[in-house]
Amino acid sequence: MLRWVSRLGESLGGNRYDLREWAGAFGDLGTLVPFVLAYITILKMDPGGLLFAFGVAKIVTGLFYKTPIPVQPMKAIGISAVTGVGGFTPATVWGAGLTTGLVWLLLGLTGLIDRVTALAKRPVVQGIVLGLGLTFMLEGLRSMATNYFLAAVAFILTFALLDNRKFPAMFLLLALGMAASLAGNPALLVEVKKNIGFSLPSFTLNKLTWPELVKGSLLLALPQVPLTLGNAVIAVVAENNELFPHRPLSARRIALSTGLLNLWAPLFGGVPMCHGAGGMAGHVRFGARTGGALVILGFLVLVVALFLAQGVHLIFQLFPPAVLGVILFFAGAELAVTAKPGAASREEFFVTLVTAAFATWNMGVAFLAGSLLSLVVEKGWVK
C-alpha cells in the first residue's frame, strides 16, 4: 500500500511518500514543538490558527520545492516574544510576521539578496553551517539532560537504527517517547479524546493595530533578519545544493518564499516562519529525500489544527523533551557533517572555524566577521 501511494505521489508531484519520508517528516519536531507550545501557553495564541498556518505552509512548500525544505518558527522572534520582556501580545507577533514578509519579499524581488549572499565565500558558508550544527547539538544535549536515562536509551537505539531502511529510527523514538509519557500519565490519551472537535481558524489581521505593528516590526522583526540570512537563506541553500544538486536552489527563491510565508501566516493567527537549515538536516537525517516529508507533516499538523486544536498542549506531552533533544542532536550532527571543508587550505579552514564560533553566538556577527576575515585572507594581507 505504501509503495502504491509513493508511486502515485511521484506521478502527481515529484515527491515520495514511502516509509522513509514518513519517518523523516518528524525530524523537525525538536524545533517545532517547543516553540509552538511556548506561543500557545505563554502568549495564549490560538492553537487552531497557528497550526493551520503551519500546516498549509508545509504542504505548499513540499509540493513546490520537492526537497525537504523545512518550515520552522523564526527563533529570535519566538524567544523574544515568549520571554515576557517587552509585554508582547499575539498581535505584535502578527505585526512582526507582516514586516518580515515584506522585507524578504523586497530583498527577493529586487535581487538585493543575491548581492548580500555573494559576500559569503565558501569558507564562510561552511562556518555558518558548522556553527548551526554545533548549536543544535548543544541544544539537544540540554534537552536530553531533563531525563538522562530516557535520553541515553533513545540515543543508543537511534544510533543503532539510524540508517536502517526497513525500520527507521524515528518510529522507535516516537514510540519510546509516547510510552514514557503514558507511563507517567496514563490518562493522557483520555484527556486528548475529550478535546476532539472540528473548528475552523478565524481571520485575525483585523485585530492588528498600528502601535502593535510598529512594536512588532522594530522589536521583533528587525533583530531576526541577520539570523534568517545566515540560517534560513545562506545555510539552507548551501545544504540543499550539497545534498540535492539535481534540484538546486537560489537565495532569491528562498527569500521570496520566506516573504510569502510570512505574509500568509498572520492572516489566520500564525507566527513568523522560515526555512531553517537545522530543520532540513533533521528531515534528511531521519530519512526524508523529497518534499513528501513536508506534505506528510503538513497534513498531520492540519488535522490537529482542525480537529484537535484545544488539545495541542496534551498531544505535545507525548513528546518528552529528552526525546526531542535526541532528535535535535542528530539533526545538528547531520548539519555539521555537510560543512566538511574538503580540500580547503589552512587559512580557509581557519575562516570556517572562526565563523562557526561566532555562529554559535550570533548569526549576523558570524556573517560579518567571516566575510571580513575571508577578504583579508583572499587579499593576502595576513600570512
Residue 148 scores a pLDDT above 50: yes
- The answer on pLDDT for 125 being more than 60 is yes
If you average pLDDT over residues 153-160, what whole number do you get? 94
pLDDT value, residue 13? 66
Of residues 344 and 214, more confidently modeled: 214
For residue 201, name the pLDDT band (cuts at 50, 70, 90).
very high
User: Bigger pLDDT: 93 or 337?
Assistant: 93
pLDDT at 8: 47
SS3 at position 240: helix
- For residue 9, pLDDT beyond 60: no
What one-character-per-residue DSSP string does 9-23 give? HHHHHS---SHHHHH
For the segment 355-377, what is each residue's pLDDT rounded down to a tens digit?
A: 999 998 888 888 889 989 988 88
pLDDT band at 120 (very low <50, low <70, confident <90, very high): confident
Mean pLDDT of the chain: 91
Can you give the pLDDT at residue 14?
84
Which residue would you say has higher pLDDT here, 133 or 119?
Answer: 133
pLDDT, tens only, 289-321: 999 999 999 999 999 999 999 899 899 999 999
Residue 341 has pLDDT above 90, yes or no: no
Average pLDDT over residues 265-273: 96
Pairing of strands 273-274, 72-73: antiparallel
Q: Using alpha carbons only, what angle is made at residue 249 by residues 248 and 255, rounded to the nearest 5 degrees?
A: 175
Give the rounded percent of residues in the chain with a pLDDT score beyond 90. Answer: 71
Q: Is the pLDDT of residue 379 over 90?
A: no
Q: How confident is the model at residue 172 (pLDDT cuts 50, 70, 90)?
A: very high
Position 85 confidence tier, pLDDT thresholds 50, 70, 90? low
Cβ(171)–Cβ(23) below 8 Å: yes
Give me the mean pLDDT over the 191-210 stretch: 90
Write phi, then psi, for 273 (nearest 5 degrees): -125, 160
Q: Is the predicted pLDDT of residue 325 greater than 80, yes or no?
A: yes
Q: Residue 11: pLDDT above 50?
A: no
pLDDT tens, position by position, 57-77 = 999 999 999 999 999 999 989
pLDDT given at position 2: 46
Reported confidence tier of residue 353, pLDDT bands at 50, 70, 90: very high
- Give the whole-number percent of the chain exceeding pLDDT 70: 94
104 contacts 258 by C-beta, under 8 angstroms: yes
Distances (CA, A) of 257 to 61, 108, 249, 267: 8, 9, 12, 16
Query: Is a pLDDT exceeding 70 seen at residue 381?
Result: no
Concatenate the DSSP letters of all residues of 29-45 into one string. HHHHHHHHHHHHHTS--
pLDDT score for 4: 44
Task: Say how many CA atoms lie within 13 Å of 310 toward its Cβ.
Answer: 9
pTM (predicted TM-score): 0.90
- At residue 107 the predicted structure's pLDDT band, cuts being 50, 70 and 90, is very high
Neighbours of 323 (CB within 10 A): 29
